[in-house]
Structure 1
Amino acid sequence: MPTRLHAHGPRARARWRLTALASAIVVVVSSLLSTGSAVASPPLKPMSVQQWHVAEYTFVSDVNYAAPFTDVEVTATFTHSSDGQVISRPAFWDGGKKWKVRFAPTELGEWTFVTSSSDTTNAGLHHRQGVIQVSPNTSTEDIYQHGFLQVADSGRDLSYDDGVPLLLSG
């Protein structure tokens, strides 16, 4: 038979309210932790890199995964501030708790990025944010002057990102 609260007086009612409040707090905190929203990592230090050169970020996981290749996936999504171009790059496991992502910016200016992890509770990998400032490159090598190789519009040749054909000498 259920116990009536009023039968135990004001102290019993106060204890019941405290128990109910504590239960509600546990539910809220548990839901925040399950979505990864409870702990926000600070933004990463801004980086400067020349166009077409590689920017590399290292993230330290909060968890030491037994099988990192299958237990978690991490992706960084880079967005150019002026034209909105979006490029996603997978992060890779670099041993222990280290994960890395590499990105070679295709446009000058500012790029922002945010990571997403299949383990949303891992604040070391999930929802990390950063900024990359991209300046013109000073290299004389073609790949740094014209960009990545791609199939030319003809479908038979290769060209650089800016359309300059790749000329093979032989």
Structure 2
Amino acid sequence: MFPRRFLIAPFMRFSIRQTLMLRASGLAVLLGFVGSTVSAVAQENLTLIPKWSRFQGELVSLKPYDNPVQDVQLKAEFTPPVGEPVTVDGFWDGGDDWKIRFMPDMVGKWTFKITCSDEENRGLHNLEGAFLCTAPTGDSRLTRNGPIRVARSRTHFMHDNETPFFWMADTAWNGPLKSSELDWKDYLEVRRSQGFTAVQWVATPWRGAPDGDANGEEPFSGTEKISI
């Protein structure tokens, strides 16, 4: 069995961390699930994931790769209680660690299957599991109402549950690149108090930060094939 750790970003507010053991070809792989506290008893002892929250699976590759980003493709197919399956890409998270993230949008039992382009890598290929999606919880508009999309009338934005959303955005351009964590936190608190509902920025240095971020680091350089 491979020991797995839960990596929870500082901005995420989750009060429980649950695990599910998957078995494939006689090999045990532990996936981590991150979800908010719920009081319902899971059917079939399934892990509980609130609607519109984050499912996170953490896997360990049994093989090293010179360039994991381009040498291997990791995918997961999630099948909802009703409707067509949804396929998402997994990603390399450094070392031998890989992750799968997914947001369930329907209450009920979901099943999933994880596959890898390297079918001989039993740590990443041919893994199956299930979880129970429960009613939404959380203290933000997104976790209570779901992601934002264009309304059927094409005249305004709304959440997945059809709650209207007014796009009142400030443009911070290179704010995330040039600010400290404390600066960014203060900025968001001020804009929120002023009634803003969104912030727009660029994720590359562009004109405002030609020398990189506050630490002088750049997201990429050169013109050759990307390699990490």
Q: Give 2:117's aligned residue.
A: 118
AA aligned to 2:163 is V
Is 1:39 aligned to 2:25, yes or no?
A: yes
| Paired residues, number | 132
Check whether the contact 2:29–2:123 (CA below 8 A) recurs between aligned residues: no
1:92 Cα deviation from its structure 2 partner = 0.5
* Deviant stretches of 4+, over 6 Å: none
Contact 1:43 1:130 in 2 (8 A): no
Give the secondary structure class of the aligned counterpart of 1:143.
helix
2:64 matched to which residue of 1?
64
How far is 1:127 from its partner?
0.9
Higher-helix-fraction structure:
1
Indicate the SS of the match to 1:56: strand
| Residue 13 of structure 1: aligned partner | none
> Gapped runs of 5+ residues in structure 1?
1-37
SS of match in other structure, 1:119: coil
Give percent identity, aligned residues only. 31
**Higher Cα Rg, which structure:** 1
| TM-score, scaled relative to structure 1 | 0.69
Q: Name the amino acid aligned to 2:78.
A: F
SS in 1 for 2:144: helix
Deviation of the 1:94 alpha carbon: 0.6
**Structure with greater proportional strand content:** 2
SS in structure 2 at match of 1:121 = coil
Relative CO higher for 1 or 2, CA cutoff 8 Å, sep ≥ 6? 1
Contact 1:40–1:123 (CA under 8 A) maintained in structure 2: no
**Is the CA contact 1:44–1:129 (under 8 Å) kept in the aligned structure 2?**
no
Where does residue 52 of structure 2 map in the other structure?
52
Segments of structure 2 that go 5 or more residues without pairing to the other structure are 1-23, 32-45, 168-194, 197-228
